[in-house]
Structure 1
Amino acid sequence: MMRLYLATGSSVEVMQGVCDEAVRSRVIWIDLLEPSPAEVRFVEDMLSIDVPTRDEIVEIEASSRLYEEADAHFMTAMLLCRAESESPELTPVTFILVGPRLVTLRYADPLPFRTAAAQIQRNPLAWNSGETVFVGLLEAIVDRLADILEGIGADLDRVSREVFTTDAKEAARQARDYRQLLARVGRDGLMIGKSRESLVSLGRLVAFATTAFKVKDRKGLQTRIKTISRDVISLSDHASFLTNKVTFALDAILGLVSIEQNGIIKIFSVAAVVFLPPTLVASIYGMNFEVMPELGFDLGYPMALGLMVISAIAPYLYFKRKGWL
């Protein structure tokens, strides 16, 4: 699908599909979402560029993601997509600046693109060229990553409160939810890893774009780009901090699981020690020998029962006094 954004004075018009020669001069942004071969050829003929293929934009080397051909700047970044779902993923998005026009090539629909499209309709004067659209998209992408990291931080704080609760009833309930807590922390760690990868690619893209805007002498856009660069750096630092919180939460949960398992093993060990002496007494008096002094004793049976009870109570009282129970 190809969506064209055309500047029409104080507003921006949106149209889909191929346009005619009369309106091509007003195009400021061409958004290609899973484009067809015909749409790719239209963009190539209109702007005299070679649109990279899907296989080319997924390559990880910097020379394939950030390069310049003639007057066109090609920049590819990995963006986080489907962040609220159970299977978030990174998708490559290519930005092509050709003079005052912007071309975006993508095979997924990250939220910042929908946000930018809505903002263009609300405030078209602030999005009156491909360069301003490009910078606005970067700002929307960074804001989205900031929101994601804030949500992860809040979730990790909730996990910490649940893990380190001092309420006995709440702790007993949480003892049955360690698997769920581990799943939440694991997903937060996955999201942080993908966010950091996206921030790294964005940092490289912003550095490349800064050089491009210096050449064009666009001081206003340079200032906004520098702000985006600082935001990317601060978010990267915050992601590193959240990574440490994930590690701490995992260690704490696994430590509590170990404590709970040790408590269970302790109970079984005490039970075994408590019942071992009565079992010994019962085994002795259960031997089938003809000559046993207690066989003819009238009170032998009550005596054996008494010995078994005493031998069970004595270890229990001893453990209780030592504080092992």
Structure 2
Amino acid sequence: MVEEPVFIIISCGRIFLFTSSTLDKYWSEIYSTKLLDLQKLVNFNKSIFKFPFEFVSDYYADITENLAKKIKVLANKVLIENAFADKDMNLITTYNFNNLLIKEAVNEATRIFRLCKKSDFGNTEFIKEVLETELDDLMVVSDYIQFNLERLRDLRDHINNKIDLDQNRIFKILTVATICIALPTLVAGVYGMNFEVMPELKWVYGYPVVILVMILCAILPYFYFKKKKWL
């Protein structure tokens, strides 16, 4: 999502709209029929004057709703299907940045509408009514944006918690594996020192006993950590 200027000029009952090519599709799908409907109204001048304010609030509402749908799809994938990849964190960052862009634009539009309402431009009852209506709509959009930001924050926290749990589980497994390997290695190392005075070396069953001790050193820690619910 990128910021692009939109120029709306009203003159002598006509409206001129200057936008980038990326907005042409949105314009043709949403507002082409609306302009045709405006021309059929008896009070056309008032309706066409009201149009720019409606366009701003409607446009922000549409892109906010579209972004909310994308966030919902991502949330379903992460929370319900319990499947996420590295790119999902990048998506969360992108969606969060897009929400901030929309929020900044909505705040700026709200500021301009309020200035219009306080100026001589907003002296007429019709203009005041239009501005109050659109300000209310922008307030709703702003609340929706805040909801999107909170959902993204919760989603990021969930993923981070999931990653922490997975890391802890891996560390526990590595810890258990290290102990299960280290203890038998210690026993083997002791009997591999080849000291002259080692009575166990003369035992008939010395070798099987040492092997048994090594096996127990490997098995007992496993069951101990299993009981502690590390595994």
| Native 8 Å contact 1:178 1:253 kept in 2 | no
Equivalent AA in structure 1 for residue 97 of structure 2: L
2:228 is the alignment partner of 1:313: no
1:324 is matched with which residue? 230
Q: What is the CA distance between 1:207 and its match in structure 2?
A: 2.6
Post-superposition Cα deviations, 1:265-308, rounded to whole Å, max 9, x if no partner, equal 11101111111211111111122333322333332222221111
* 1:254 match: 160
Q: Provide the residue aligned with 1:28 in structure 2.
A: none
Q: CA deviation at 1:255?
A: 1.2
| Cα distance in 2 between the residues matched to 1:135 and 1:270 | 71
Matched, 1:117 2:24: no
Give the distance between the partners of 2:22 and 2:121, measured in 1 at CA: 27
> Which structure is higher in helix share?
2
Match in the other structure for 1:239: 145
| Superposition pairs of residues 46-195 of structure 1, within 5 angstroms | 88-97=1-10, 100-107=13-20, 109-110=22-23, 113-114=27-28, 115-126=30-41, 128-129=44-45, 132-165=47-80, 170-171=81-82, 174=83, 177-195=84-102
- Flag structure 1 segments of 5+ consecutive residues without an equivalent: 1-87
- CA shift, 1:106, in A, is 4.1
Q: Contact (CA 8 Å) 1:116, 1:136: kept in 2 or not?
A: no
Distance change >3 Å, CA 221–CA 236, structure 1 → 2: same
TM-score for the superposition, normalised by structure 1: 0.61
Percent of counterpart pairs with the same letter? 26
CA distance in 1, matches of 2:51, 2:38: 12
RMSD: 2.7
Counterpart of 1:145 in structure 2: which amino acid? Y
> CA–CA distance in 2 between the matches of 1:97 and 1:124?
14
- Structure showing the higher strand proportion among its residues: 1
Once the two structures are superposed, residues 26-48 of structure 1 have per-residue CA deviations (whole angstroms, 9 ceiling, x without a partner) of xxxxxxxxxxxxxxxxxxxxxxx
Distance 1:293 1:281 in 2: 15
Tell whether the 8 Å contact from 2:179 to 2:221 is kept in structure 1 after alignment: yes
Q: Deviation per CA, 1:177-231: give whole Å up to 9, x if none.
A: 242332332222122111111111211232344445434x3x4454233211110
Instruction: Give structure 2 stretches of 5+ with no counterpart.
Output: none
Deviations 1:149-200 (A, max 9, x none): 22333443444444444xxxx43xx1xx242332332222122111111111
Secondary structure of the residue aligned to 1:91 is coil
Note if 1:214 corresponds to 2:129. no
Cα distance in structure 2, aligned partners of 1:206 and 1:95: 15
Q: Which has the higher contact order (CA 8 A, sep 6+)?
A: 2
Amino acid at match of 2:2: E
Give the one of 181, 188, 204 matched to 2:111: 204
* Contact kept? 2:99, 2:145, Cα under 8 Å: yes
Counterpart of 1:196, as a letter, is K
What is the 5 A alignment of 1:271-286? 271-286=177-192
8 Å CA contact 1:196–1:239 kept in 2: the answer is yes
